[in-house]
Amino acid sequence: QVNKAVNRSVARYVPKHKHLSSSECIFIRIAIAVAVHNFGFEKYWKRICEKLCIHDDKLFSFFRFVTEAHEKNRARQRTMKTKS
């Protein structure tokens, strides 16, 4: 299950149908997907903003909104009946 989740996260940042000209670009996108999976969307992007000295309440609100949407989706998926 975890492997599938990480693969979906990576596919979000590195779509299979797109040709990327630089392997660094692919590496960075995969690293972002793994970091978001490990730390969570809000925590990871807030950390990046802190490193870049970006302090924007609207941006942080967006991070919170996305995180809450992910949490609601996960909770809904856990309660759905599985195929028999």
Cβ atoms 13, 27 nearer than 8 A: no
Task: Quote the crossing angle between the two packed helices 41-51 and 23-39, to the nearest 10°.
Answer: 120
The span from the CA of 68 to the CA of 70, in Å, is 5
Give the CA distances from residue 26 to residues 5, 6, 7, 12, 69, in Å, rounded to whole numbers and listed in that order.
18, 15, 14, 12, 26
Find where tokens 């992910």 sit: 70
Reported as a single tens digit per residue, the pLDDT across 33-53 is 889 888 988 999 999 999 999
Reported as a single tens digit per residue, the pLDDT across 1-31 is 667 777 777 777 666 666 665 666 778 878 8
